[in-house]
A and B are shown apart, each in its own frame.
Chain A
Amino acid sequence: MEGNGRYVETPGGRYVDIPVKSGPDTLVVKAGTAFNRSYVINAGSSVSMPANHIIVEEGSLTDICIIIMPGVDADIPITVDLIGEGSDFSLSGIYICGSEERVSLETVVRHRVPGCKSNQHFNGIVSGTARTDFFGRIIVAPDAQKTEAYQVNRNILLSDKAKVNTKPQLEIYADDVKCSHGATIGRLDEEAQFYMRSRGIPLEEAKVLQMLSFISPVLNHIRNSAEREVVAKDIDEAIRKIL
């Protein structure tokens, strides 16, 4: 808590029902519709998240992917309210930091009604003197039975001067749920590198391949294949640069 710059107020033991309010920054995914978009945030470009609050209605399908390229300082808070039964929500992201970036991601996914599914998947590669903070919360309201909520945050730390902090949180007030979160911070597997090198792949290339394969599960969230290929190419270049 201290040293993290942010102090989190906890309501103390009980579920606190914060009313759903929409503001100018709210994105509403209407009942029965699908919303599928990816956002690539490049250094110097002006693309930013259109919304820091998303309301998900009944029976809708949402898939949002955020890609943060090297050289970007970002502070992205996203709150998601699942207010309609049977909706399926996915939020994923990639962050690649190679120099002195500060990236902070904060997600709050509130399951307010029964029978919804949410999935969060964030993978990051951190090098240089960058610092990343991931703070992800899943809150399941007392009556939101049959909820399925998952969250994964994986990080590769490439430099001793870089820092990775991750705080996944589960707050569950219903009982018939399936929820999990996982977080890892680690390095590139040296045995895998040896395997590739013994087959004639140079070390540098082996590392690039490892990182690409680490990123690729998140990339699959970009549904449009043309778009996905463009992003994949950009990421390939970015990874080679930070190595």
Chain B
Amino acid sequence: MKDREENNILKGIASQEYKEGFVTEIEQKYIPKGLDEDIIRTISSIRKEPGWLLDFRLDAFSKWKKMKMPRWAHLDLPDIDFQDIIYYAAPKKDSDRPKEIDPKLEETFEKLGIPLRERAALAGVVAVDAVFDSVSVGTTFRKTLEDKGIIFCSFSEAVRDHSDLVRKYLASVVPSGDNFFAALNSAVFGDGSFCYIPKGVKCPMELSSYFRINASGTGQFERTLIVADEGSSLSYMEGCTAPMRDERQLHAAVVEIIVEKDADVKYSTVQNWYPGDSEGRGGILNFVTKRGMCKGAGSHLSWTQVETGSAITWKYPSTILKGDNSSSEFYSVAVTNNYQQADTGTKMIHTGKNTKSRIISKGISAGHSQNSYRGLVMMNAGAEGARNYSQCDSLLIGSQCGAHTFPDIRSANRSAVVEHEATTSKISDEQLFYCNQRGIDPEDAVGLIVNGYAKEVLSKLPMEFAVEAHKLLQVSLEGSVG
């Protein structure tokens, strides 16, 4: 009886708490299901792309056909039928007002807390590029940014207006044949964001991409390209949500970041894809390739991620430290509950002299979930005086979940120093008792302890995100104690 009751409560929470799980009823344009060269040509022609980009797609597709889905991760992967996915979906445009944003779309993003219109109250805070299924629906604060010479627009506009820049940098960090999902993305990618910060410019506001999956039976394959030229600085945020459905939807994105000499980029993600219900049905399959290159001397790239969503996460934001004295950081909190699975971590590849990296990863597993950290730290022969410090902590809540750590550390330079430590433990009864004794109920106490545990990472988030991340942590773990 008690078990049943508990289950009901859990179910209730799981279904009610994902507040972004609604569907927008809007007329959409689809292309047929399946994947072959014709589909790729169709996508390319709908998006009015130049010939070189079509060639790039077709080349990636031929590479992808020869590849196999990676199975090495600590994940129970379902078989994905790649012919059963719609690779392009976009809201239909009314012919009588082609310029304006559909009010329904605007309403959708409003509901998600992403204003598509520039508001006085938020002025100068965040500029957003909102992507809905396969297209970008709007980019805000264009004018303000243009005045500084900053290019921030959707990927398709970038291809049209800044073709030379896109051509120069596209696939320079993640080659089209890099891995199975990067190749798939290179072949079929829809929209995404493009950002270029010119020499010496400090971006006056946070830039942000917001990805929304809406159509069913589709996948989202967005592509983000960020270039920070010499001495520039940028803080970039990414957010994402999807409706609640019983089917699993594929999300395979590629993010490339190029950081030139003395430039500074901070990339923050709050991943809030639909994680599936309490029985493990539905949810987003999140297979993402994110990689940055610290190309010039003294460049700096910082990754911060808060992962609460998606049924399966396969994601390793990485940095190649090529420029001398460049540095990179990776801060991550990954929370899994119910039947979620996450295999996430980072790669730090040191090739330049005196390069430094720091990895702080906090995993929290609850319910029946499996949460793995997988990381690579590589000191190449040229990495004189390079330094790395990694710390991976796992917190277990409940006896049915698993927490795993798979670091890989390689050094081929005697002056390089690498340190790694990992711990796994649970919230101790004493800690809970201490809180209970002071009138904090168990659920709040867990939230309190978890927030404290993740504080080191949360404090690195931009202010706008930190508040959301705090709330997300609380919601994700609701119903996990008792």
Q: Which residues of A contact B (CB under 8 A)?
A: 1, 7-8, 10, 12-15, 142, 145, 155, 157-160, 162-187
What 5 A-B pairs come out closest when comparing CB atoms? A13-B76, A175-B396, A185-B411, A170-B405, A186-B417
Are A169 and B399 in touch, CB under 8 angstroms? Answer: no
- Report B308 CB to chain A, min CB distance, Å: 19
Are A179 and B402 in touch, CB under 8 angstroms? Answer: no
Are B76 and A168 in touch, CB under 8 angstroms? Answer: no
Are B410 and A172 in touch, CB under 8 angstroms? Answer: no
State A175–B397 Cα separation when bound (angstroms): 7
Q: Given A182-B421, A185-B411, A176 and B405 touching (CB < 8 A)?
A: no
B414 contacts chain A at the CB level, 8 A cutoff: yes
- Cross-interface CB contact of B399 among A142, A180, A181, cutoff 8 Å: A142
State A1–B71 Cα separation when bound (angstroms): 12
Which residues of chain B are within 8 angstroms of A164 by Cβ–Cβ distance?
410-411
Q: Given A172-B402, A181-B422, A14 and B76 touching (CB < 8 A)?
A: yes
Are B409 and A167 in touch, CB under 8 angstroms? Answer: yes
Interface residues of B in 61-96 (CB under 8 A from A): 71-77
Residue of B nearest to A134 (CB): B409
- Report B96 CB to chain A, min CB distance, Å: 51
- Cross-interface CB contact of A157 among B75, B404, B405, B411, cutoff 8 Å: B411
- Cross-interface CB contact of A173 among B402, B407, B420, B423, cutoff 8 Å: B402
Interface residues of B in 368-415 (CB under 8 A from A): 370, 379, 381, 394, 396-415
Q: Given A167-B406, A167-B407, A182 and B401 touching (CB < 8 A)?
A: no
> 12 additional contacts, CB 8 Å, given A14-B370, A160-B412, A187-B415?
A12-B75, A13-B341, A165-B408, A169-B404, A170-B424, A171-B74, A171-B402, A175-B396, A179-B423, A183-B418, A185-B416, A186-B418
B419 contacts chain A at the CB level, 8 A cutoff: yes
Are A176 and B71 in touch, CB under 8 angstroms? Answer: no
- Report A28 CB to chain B, min CB distance, Å: 29
Mask: chain B, 426-466; 1 = CB below 8 Å from A; 0 = not: 10000000000000000000000000000000000000000
Are A13 and B370 in touch, CB under 8 angstroms? Answer: yes
- Report B279 CB to chain A, min CB distance, Å: 16
Q: Count B interface residues, CB 8 Å.
A: 43
- Report A133 CB to chain B, min CB distance, Å: 9
- Cross-interface CB contact of A167 among B379, B408, B421, B423, cutoff 8 Å: B408
Are A12 and B74 in touch, CB under 8 angstroms? Answer: yes
Are B424 and A177 in touch, CB under 8 angstroms? Answer: yes
Which residues of chain A are within 8 angstroms of B398 by Cβ–Cβ distance?
175
State A185–B414 Cα separation when bound (angstroms): 9
Are B399 and A174 in touch, CB under 8 angstroms? Answer: yes
Are B394 and A184 in touch, CB under 8 angstroms? Answer: no
- Report B50 CB to chain A, min CB distance, Å: 35
State A13–B76 Cα separation when bound (angstroms): 5
Which residues of chain A are within 8 angstroms of B421 by Cβ–Cβ distance?
180-183
* Most chain A C-beta atoms within 10 Å of own C-beta, residue among B71, B396, B398: B396
Q: Given A12-B71, A160-B381, A160-B413, A145 and B399 touching (CB < 8 A)?
A: yes
- Cross-interface CB contact of B420 among A171, A172, A183, cutoff 8 Å: A183
Residue of B nearest to A158 (CB): B414
Are A180 and B423 in touch, CB under 8 angstroms? Answer: yes
State A155–B414 Cα separation when bound (angstroms): 11
State A49–B267 Cα separation when bound (angstroms): 50
State A166–B405 Cα separation when bound (angstroms): 13
Which residues of chain A are within 8 angstroms of B405 by Cβ–Cβ distance?
168-170, 181
- Report A136 CB to chain B, min CB distance, Å: 11
Residue of A nearest to B70 (CB): A1
Which residues of chain B are within 8 angstroms of A168 by Cβ–Cβ distance?
405, 407, 420, 422
Mask: chain B, 126-169; 1 = CB below 8 Å from A; 0 = not: 00000000000000000000000000000000000000000000
State A162–B413 Cα separation when bound (angstroms): 8
- Report A101 CB to chain B, min CB distance, Å: 16
- Report A15 CB to chain B, min CB distance, Å: 7
Are B410 and A165 in touch, CB under 8 angstroms? Answer: yes
* Most chain B C-beta atoms within 10 Å of own C-beta, residue among A8, A175, A184, A186: A175
Are A162 and B414 in touch, CB under 8 angstroms? Answer: yes
Mask: chain B, 350-362; 1 = CB below 8 Å from A; 0 = not: 0000000000000
Are B426 and A184 in touch, CB under 8 angstroms? Answer: no
